[in-house]
Every structure is written in C-alpha cells, then in structure tokens.
Amino acid sequence: MLIYNTTFHCEKSTYDEFVTWMRTQYIPVAVQHKGVSEPRMARIMTQDENEGISISVQFCTASLDSLSTWYETCGAKLVEQLEKKFQQRVAGFSTIMQQIDL
C-alpha cells in the first residue's frame, strides 16, 4: 500500500475557504475516479503560523501504476482547478510513501 501525500501551505485568510473546497470539491472528485481511496486531511501544527497554515491531504493507492493513471485522468485537472481558484494563496508539494506494517 502506498500513501500519496500532498502538503499545502495557504495564507491564513484562505484557510477556511481552502478546507471547505477540499472537502466539497477536490476530495469527492478524487475518490470518485478510483485509483485513490481513504482520504485524510490534517492541519500541520507549528509554533509559528504567521506565514500561513499547512495542511496535509493523503490518499491510499495500490501501486505507482494506479496512482499514475489516476493522476493522468483526474489529478492533473484537480491541480489545475486548485491553481486557478487559489492562485498564489496556496502552494503544495506531493510525496509518495510506502506504508510499513507494524
């Protein structure tokens, strides 16, 4: 199992709008297209949030191939929509992690 994580950093004034958009638009569309599942979203706690607020959005995926297919059919469009809506107020970077069983 792989975890597809995107860490977003948004301006404080954009936080509520961004979280609402992720809940109502981005995440429902992302899981509807298969390839990713089990969405999670978390606020990253830091000492100093003067520069903005960071949020982690995670999905599980079965393989790199399924993630790649998802990104080509859905993910790239979602990124484009996010960039158009929030412009410079939100920035993000993605990482792929392999889950280690305990």
Q: For the purposes of burial, counting CB atoms within 10 Å of the CB of 8, is it exposed (0-12), middle (13-18) or buried (19 or more)?
A: buried
- Does residue 70 contact residue 6 with C-beta atoms inside 8 Å? no
- pLDDT tens digits along 14-67: 999 999 999 999 999 999 988 999 999 999 998 777 789 999 999 999 999 999
pTM over 0.95: no
Q: Side by side, which strands form the sheet with 37-44?
A: 37-44, 53-61, 2-10, 90-98
pLDDT tens-digit series, residues 81-98? 999 999 999 999 999 999
Distances (CA, A) of 17 to 1, 2, 24, 83: 31, 29, 11, 14
For residue 102, the 8-state DSSP code is -
Q: What's 2-98's CATH class?
A: alpha beta
Q: Which has the closest alpha carbon to 35: 79, 65, 76, 5?
A: 65
